[in-house]
Amino acid sequence: MSVAVVATAHDFRRACQEARRDGELALVPTMGFLHAGHQSLIQAAAQRAPTVAVTIFVNPTQFGPGEDLSRYPRDLEGDLRKCEEAGGTFVFVPRGPEEIYPAGFQTSVEPGPLAAPLCGERRPGHFRGVCTVVAKLFALSRADCAFFGEKDYQQLAVIRRMNADLNLGVEVIGRPIVRERDGLAMSSRNAYLSREERARATALWKGLKAARDAFTAGEVQAERLEELARQKLVEDGLRIDYAEVRDSVELQRPQKADATSRLFLAAFLGKTRLIDNGAVGESG
């Protein structure tokens, strides 16, 4: 049996409504070009609920001018196979952006201070786009729970906050980052990398490890941990977008890190922007 596909907001709402009669409904929002990181979310969702709705939508409102919207990788056939393999029940693939943003659309969700630093600062309007589409997916599906990856840790924090602030009533569940064998965080955008860039992309992981090793050895000065990570990025020729230690809840900058403080990294390899993050007190 292959996974069912719905292409309109109307059909998605109806499929979710029907599914909720049989028990809990779990939602996994994605932009497609699925990999094992996405599949880990679908698998976790399938363990939690009898029905798992996956969405595949390259949401134009979360891309800024000059970003990679038009060249974002797509592979619907492969995605459907991977959804099914991981335990997805049905997939919502809007037939076009008008399905989500019909003529006359004009209302957005404006997130607060959690969306201000890091990716929010570098990508103005990004989290407004993310919150708006996720709020719409929550409203259409009325899912009991929704799964997001810590790969996009700030996004997860912003969505948790939105869900609480707007009483959306969805249980927001975060899941750990899935990595390649050499430590690179899986990402659809890794497909942009040339062989040579792919080899250098492990610098983010090296940077995170350097900060973790230093923290384990007793270094708690946030600036020093950031500096160690920066060195690794520069050594491999990446252009640093940010390298910042922040607390894991409010995303504020501490002077001294504790084990739960997270190092957030964003860097360019050519035109490709990669992000990563992790708690400094974690090993591995």
Residues that bind ligand AMP (CB under 6 A): 30-31, 37-38, 40-41, 148-149, 151-152, 175, 177-178, 185-188
Asked about 38 being catalytic, the answer comes back as yes
Q: What is the DSSP letter of 179?
A: B
* Active-site entry in 10, 35, 38, 126: 38
Alpha carbons 284 and 267: distance in angstroms, whole number = 21
CB 7, CB 99: distance < 8 Å:
yes
CB 157, CB 119: distance < 8 Å:
no
The contacts of residue 172 (CB under 8 Å, 6+ apart) are: 145, 146, 148, 156, 159, 160, 163
CB 122, CB 78: distance < 8 Å:
no
Alpha carbons 32 and 24: distance in angstroms, whole number = 24
Closer CB to ligand AMP, residue 148 or residue 264?
148
Closer CB to ligand AMP, residue 152 or residue 226?
152
Closer CB to ligand AMP, residue 150 or residue 244?
150
Closer CB to ligand AMP, residue 83 or residue 186?
186
Alpha carbons 56 and 106: distance in angstroms, whole number = 22
Residue closest to ligand AMP when measured from CB atoms: 149
Q: How far is the CB of 138 from ligand AMP (least distance, A)?
A: 14
Q: What is the DSSP letter of 269?
A: E
Q: How far is the CB of 39 from ligand AMP (least distance, A)?
A: 9
Q: How far is the CB of 32 from ligand AMP (least distance, A)?
A: 6
- How many C-beta neighbours within 10 Å does residue 250 have? 11
3-state secondary structure of 263: strand
Q: How far is the CB of 205 from ligand AMP (least distance, A)?
A: 12
Q: Which residue numbers are catalytic? A: 38
